[in-house]
Amino acid sequence: MRERIIAGNWKMHKTSAEAVSFIKGLTPCLADVSDAIFLAVPFTTVEAAAKAAEGTKVVVGAQNMCDAASGAFTGEVSAEMLKAAGAHFVIVGHSERRHLFGETDALVNRKVLRAVEEGLRPLLCVGETLLQREEGLAQETLEQQLCASLAQVTPDLLSRVILAYEPVWAIGTGRTATPDMAQQAHQHLRHVIEEHWGSGAAAKTSILYGGSVKSSNAAALMAESDIDGLLVGGASLEVDSFSQIIHYHSLVSGS
């Protein structure tokens, strides 16, 4: 069975004290949860959040990293630094990094390789813009991003990678891909993995959906066969709303 993951991405929100308070508030809500719970926190809160998460079901990670191991890169943070602070995973290739900061597939690929080499799990994001979707280029865009971002990644290394499909047109817009639209994209990504890395890798790779995830759509998204988890933005900033999404099974049963 593929690993099922509910991941929160706090983006540029929360101080260390706020992160500790959040984790303390969330922990009692996780007693009956079998899915992995990830939190991608700002650089400045990684260490405090990781310490607060010790002994809990919360896995702390970062939202970005440098592709270099070390050097004269003012303002950058290395994988080694993140690991030393307590991070277990790192988001790479998020649409905001690609579109606001100009990160290319080649740079994302270097970050993936660096993360794996340094023992961090990369959570690799791919997704199409609204224009690409309207022009019928969604699947082509996803395949191009995936293959370029995972260049030189062997099937064995791919076992360390988590994927996330996040349609750019649904990030922070309130618009969400329907469960069927999301399933089609996830199914296509799994087919691309099978073509390039084999059926074994395709069967084992977890693919999360990200894009205006909230409690009202979490259960329907998670019911799709190729959706293995959720990458949650704004709704992960409050314990109550994130907990509701984590307990998507209850939303299905209405309990």
Average pLDDT, the chain: 95
Q: How confident is the model at residue 252 (pLDDT cuts 50, 70, 90)?
A: low
Q: What is the set of active-site residues?
A: 94, 166
What's the mean pLDDT in 38-44?
98
Under CATH, which architecture does the 5-253 domain have? Answer: Alpha-Beta Barrel (3.20)
Percent of the chain with pLDDT over 90: 91
pTM: 0.95
State residue 83's pLDDT score.
98
State residue 176's pLDDT score.
73
pLDDT in tens, 120-137: 999 999 999 988 998 999
> Which helix H or strand E contains 181, and what residues bound it?
helix 179-197
User: Is residue 229 classed exposed, middle or buried when 0-12, 13-18 and 19+ CB atoms within 10 A define those classes?
Assistant: buried
Q: How confident is the model at residue 10 (pLDDT cuts 50, 70, 90)?
A: very high
pLDDT in tens, 169-201: 887 777 778 999 999 999 999 999 999 999 999
228 pLDDT above the threshold of 80: yes
What's the mean pLDDT in 82-95?
97
State residue 254's pLDDT score.
44
* C-beta of residue 208 within 8 angstroms of C-beta of residue 228: yes
What's the mean pLDDT in 57-63?
98
Q: How confident is the model at residue 45 (pLDDT cuts 50, 70, 90)?
A: very high
Angle between helices 239-246 and 16-26 (to 10 degrees): 40
146 pLDDT above the threshold of 70: yes
State residue 253's pLDDT score.
47
What's the mean pLDDT in 147-160?
97
Sequence spans of domains, the chain: 5-253
